[in-house]
Amino acid sequence: MDAEPLEPKPSRFRVVVDLTGEGWTATVPEVPGMTVTAPDLIELDRTVRGGIRLHDGAPAVQIIEPIQLDYDYAQLGEGIAKVADVGRRVREHIEADAGTNVLLRVAKAVLLDAQMPVEDMAHLLGISQAHVAELGVIRD
């Protein structure tokens, strides 16, 4: 009995993110020497994806679209890294889940304390800027 060929899986890359006075910076450990900067997280995402597609030193494996990026925000501090993790988990749950709104409101409070712009909050949480603006805030 012949085994069925496996469907190719999208390429997955770890992206280490940092925030400097100049804006956002990302390095992709799997792509040697790749460091990109951008003024916001949405542009950073676009730039990282484009850089991976164009980089001569990309891994020997074939890049399969859509490229999946695993963002690592640990360098930004525990609070923002936790919020980014909440955003990842929120995207994995159905939007109608009652607990999701509470998580988002707590996350927004943490990001407001970090003086994060709305567009970057939206990107971290995986929701629209309008949705971020509509959210109330829950503080402990």
Which residues, in sequence order, are CB contacts of 97 under 8 Å at separation 6+?
Answer: none
Give the residue numbers spanning the domain of 111.
77-134
Tens of pLDDT, residues 28-85:
998 888 999 999 988 999 999 888 888 765 555 567 777 888 889 888 888 888 888 8
Structural domain ending residue among the three candidates 72, 89, 112: 72
DSSP 8-state code for residue 36: E
> What distance in Å separates the CA atoms of residue 32 and residue 56, rounded to the nearest whole number?
9
Clarify whether residues 17 and 57 are in a common domain.
Answer: yes
Clarify whether residues 27 and 67 are in a common domain.
Answer: yes
Give this prediction's pTM: 0.63
**In terms of Cα–Cα distance, which of 58, 51, 12, 57 is closest to 35?**
51
Number of domains making up the chain: 2
Token pair recorded at residue 71:
């963002």
Task: Identify residue 64 by its one-letter amino acid code.
Answer: I
Average pLDDT over residues 83-108: 69
Clarify whether residues 85 and 128 are in a common domain.
Answer: yes
Place of tokens 């943490």: 110
Token pair recorded at residue 102:
């509470």
Q: Tell whether 6 is covered by a domain.
A: no
Tens of pLDDT, residues 78-91:
888 888 887 777 66
